[in-house]
Amino acid sequence: MTRPAPEDPRAARTRARLRAALLAECAERPLEEVGVAALARRAEVGRATFYVHYDGLEALAVDACADVVREAVQALHAWRGRPDPVHAPPALAEFFASLTPHAGLYRALLSPGGGGPLGRVLHRDLRAYSLRERELAGAADPPLVASAVAATFAGVLADWLHGLLDAGPAEIADQVWQLLVALHASR
């Protein structure tokens, strides 16, 4: 078995600075108004260095928001034993509440219905995790239910961020949780 080569620490630091600069820029203006030159200056790197690491602002934005995907997956699986069918785990409500500071950026990358570049990453990662969990548990129809869980969560999250669902973070967490529990119980 071969191990992947360790990442160059300098490259990791540069990408971290670019991600932090993007989040700071997007706190001040929408993603579509952010320019590579201003972003590179803020990150204290050259424009060419930006393109060594990313092929464009969208790729950087998806990378900067990848933690949101990991947090979503963890929040959805932050329970043990039998899940409460009505109330979401506290981590899920905390996840929805944590989205507020960068909601504009998430809306730019996650279109209504759950599409867009961040939606594709969220769907892929959540489906893979759900599929693995269902297979380990010996549950019925792992691929079907994993797809439904990923699509439901990504769609509800995106619609909520776009203001298509009127609910606070705790309320939307409970609502999406009830849908997901029903999906898991249906098969």
Looking at residue 3, what is its pLDDT? 44
Instruction: Name which of 101, 93, 38, 10 is nearest 64 in CA terms.
Output: 101
For residues 170-175, give the mean pLDDT: 96
What's the mean pLDDT when you consider all of the chain?
89
Rounded to the nearest 10 degrees, the angle between the axes of helix 116-137 and helix 57-76 is 30
Distance of CA 156 to the CA centre of its chain: 13
Looking at residue 66, what is its pLDDT? 82
The model's confidence at residue 9, banded by pLDDT at 50, 70 and 90, is confident
The model's confidence at residue 128, banded by pLDDT at 50, 70 and 90, is very high
